[in-house]
Amino acid sequence: MNLKKLFFSLLFCLPLSLSAQQVALQLYSLRNEMPNDPSKYLQKVSSWGIHALEGGGGYGLSDAEYQDLLRKNNLSIVGVGADYNQLTKTLQPIIEEAKKYGAKYVTCYWIPHADGPITLDEIKISTALFNQVGKELKEHNLTFLYHPHGYEFGPNGKGVVMDYMLENAEDFAFNMDVFWVKMGGGDPLKIMKKYKGKFPMLHLKDRLIGTPGSKNGQGDVETNVVLGTGDVEIAKIIKEAKKQKTAYLVIEDESSRSVEQIPLSVAFIEKELKK
């Protein structure tokens, strides 16, 4: 029986291991579960066929205890977060956090701004900062990424404010959250095709059909649905990610149903990667 279980477990993981893309999980998806029992949920993540993680924390464990849990479950942290305000100061704490886990990617998830769409001037300032940060992090073999959140898609001339950052990102790239880009009125697939090579990581998150958009970076997380069942064209995005050799397809499910939905989303990605 144990050998049979092992066989099917390996069979489940095989298509992912043969692909240039690796499925990862943003641990924010389990923000309500991990603090209560990190051991249980890291085992569960591994059982889903996921072995790369983004974000998270120590959950009250010592560094040694947490690292041991990761090793036992064949898990690795491939990306860490970076607070925008910290980026304007010293990068040393961010570098140390990434090095501690052996992570390659550092992502800023939010630019502080007044509620509503961000302004072009704020995007210009952030772009200059991100280029500076990216250049410094490259010296430590780290890649800096920005995670668009929907508030960057206010109108600007014939395009949107986000165009400026995409066109002027020289020393950083993007960890695009396709759900939030869609929420802001953007088209994730068109953006990927226009700015090829700038998306080493993607946050794959699908949206319930009929969900209204918003340009303030906010929305109902319960509209996060199993990948492939919403209106974000996840299958086409995965196909393009394969062409561009995107390194990590990161599942992020912010809904209260994440534990039930994540394995179904893994199965969907696996199916699409085999095509």
The model's confidence at residue 161, banded by pLDDT at 50, 70 and 90, is very high
pLDDT, one tens digit per residue, over 198-216 is 999 999 999 999 999 999 9
pLDDT of residue 106 exceeding 70, the answer is yes
pLDDT of residue 13 exceeding 80, the answer is no
pLDDT of residue 65 exceeding 50, the answer is yes
Predicted local confidence at residue 230, as pLDDT:
98
Predicted local confidence at residue 16, as pLDDT:
38
What is the mean pLDDT of the segment spanning 7-18? Answer: 41
pLDDT of residue 7 exceeding 90, the answer is no
pLDDT of residue 9 exceeding 80, the answer is no
Answering whether pTM is above 0.75, one says yes
Domain range 20-273, CATH architecture: Alpha-Beta Barrel (3.20)
The model's confidence at residue 107, banded by pLDDT at 50, 70 and 90, is very high
Cβ(100)–Cβ(79) under 8 Å? Answer: no
pLDDT of residue 4 exceeding 60, the answer is no
Which of 196, 249, 211, 245 shows the shortest CA–CA distance to 227?
249
Per-position DSSP letters for the chain, written without gaps between them = -HHHHHHHHHHHHHHHHHSS-EEEEEGGGGTTTTTT-HHHHHHHHHHTT--EEES---TT--HHHHHHHHHHTT-EEEEEE--HHHHTS-SHHHHHHHHHHT--EEEE-----SSSSPPHHHHHHHHHHHHHHHHHHHTTT-EEEE---STT-SEETTEETHHHHHHH-SS-EEEEEHHHHHHTT--HHHHHHHTTT--SEEEE-EE-TT----SSS---GGGEE-TTSSSS-HHHHHHHHHHHT-SEEEE---STTHHHHHHHHHHHHHHHHT-
Q: What percent of the chain has pLDDT over 70?
A: 93
pLDDT of residue 100 exceeding 60, the answer is yes
Distance in angstroms (rounded) separating the CA atoms of residues 144 and 188:
20
Q: Which amino acid makes up residue 197?
A: G
pLDDT of residue 15 exceeding 90, the answer is no
Which of 200, 201, 208 shows the shortest CA–CA distance to 227?
208
pLDDT, one tens digit per residue, over 217-236 is 999 999 999 999 999 999 99
Cβ(179)–Cβ(220) under 8 Å? Answer: no
What is the mean pLDDT of the segment spanning 67-87? Answer: 98
What is the mean pLDDT of the segment spanning 161-190? Answer: 98
What is the mean pLDDT of the segment spanning 67-75? Answer: 98
Return the domain boundaries, the chain. Answer: 20-273
What is the mean pLDDT of the segment spanning 9-34? Answer: 73
pLDDT of residue 14 exceeding 50, the answer is no
Whole-number average pLDDT of the chain: 94
Distance in angstroms (rounded) separating the CA atoms of residues 183 and 177:
10
pLDDT of residue 1 exceeding 70, the answer is no
Predicted local confidence at residue 19, as pLDDT:
52
The model's confidence at residue 165, banded by pLDDT at 50, 70 and 90, is very high
Give the residue carrying structure tokens 């050799």. Answer: 245
pLDDT, one tens digit per residue, over 116-159 is 999 999 999 999 999 999 999 999 999 999 999 999 999 999 99
Q: In b/e form, how buried is each residue of 167-178, taking b as 16+ CB within 10 angstroms?
A: eebeebbbbbbb
Cβ(177)–Cβ(219) under 8 Å? Answer: no
Predicted local confidence at residue 20, as pLDDT:
74
